[in-house]
Amino acid sequence: MPSARHLAKTYLDDAEAARLKDLAARTHLSQAEVLRRLLMAQPLPAADSLAGWDAIRDLMRINADQARLGNLFKLALDEAPDDTLQAQLQAIATDIATCQTALKAAAVALRARLQPRRAP
């Protein structure tokens, strides 16, 4: 079945091709998508916005790592016979939970700043 999409070809000089390649790299879009958005007067993603979303992803990875670490500590608490070790592990587990809460709050606050505001 033939496609309903149309192919547009264009020739670019070295400077134009470099600019297109740079825009595509900075916006994490393909060169075709950059041209399509420019043609339709749609905004390109801002580089600082992309960095913010990358930061949120990194915060969520850290949060998941801490959750795994917390689960390992809980297992150790269940198996540790020494009361001193158990108290130390419980304190560390509490610190991990506090840090996870702070990471989640930071990610939510950053996401709220990055999401475009919708017109009423």
pLDDT of residue 120 exceeding 70, the answer is no
Range of weakest confidence among 6-15, 30-39, 81-90: 81-90
pTM above 0.85, yes or no: no
For residue 89, what are the contacts with CB-CB under 8 A and spacing of at least 6?
Answer: 73, 76, 77, 80
Q: Nearest-5° angle of CA 36, CA 40, CA 43?
A: 85
More confident residue, 53 or 24: 24
